[in-house]
Amino acid sequence: SQWGEENLQALSIQEGEDVTMNCSYKTYTTVVHWYRQDSGRGPALIILIRSNEREKRSGRLRATLDTSSQSSSLSITAAQCEDTAVYFCATDASSGSWQLIFGSGTQLTVMP
């Protein structure tokens, strides 16, 4: 497997708190994607960070990438109830087919 964790992780926080989700990968990648999946829907890209970037921000989201430790993180600042979703990280398969390899994801629940 490309990823360290095989099963869905779960996090539960209160509204207004900050949260960080982590992923570690085993083989070289040129890009890490973070996707969000709402219940009953397909995943949607929320932030993409390339291997030449250490940090990427989008609104309340912040992604980091450490190629030396082959790990990435996604942080949400001041989480809101609508942030409740499953968050996946994914890397490119480096096979020239624009394939992605998805991790098992983190179920984030933000409580009011």
Partner 1 sequence: EAAVTQSPRSKVAVTGGKVTLSCHQTNNHDYMYWYRQDTGHGLRLIHYSYVADSTEKGDIPDGYKASRPSQENFSLILELASLSQTAVYFCASNPGLGPSSYEQYFGPGTRLTVL
Binding residue (CB under 8 A) for partner 1 from 8, 78, 81, 111: 8
Q: Which residue has the tokens 């996946």?
A: 88
3-class DSSP state of 50: strand
Decide if residue 39 touches partner 1 (CB under 8 A). Answer: no
Stretch that binds partner 1, among 13-21, 52-60, 66-74, 97-105 (CB under 8 A): 97-105
Decide if residue 88 touches partner 1 (CB under 8 A). Answer: yes
Query: Measured from the CB atom, is 28 or 80 closer to partner 1?
Result: 28
> Which string of b and e fits 34-62 if b means at least 16 CB within 10 Å?
bbbeeeeeebeebbebeeeeeebeeeebb
Binding residue (CB under 8 A) for partner 1 from 34, 65, 105, 108: 105
Q: Residues for the chain: how many in total? A: 112
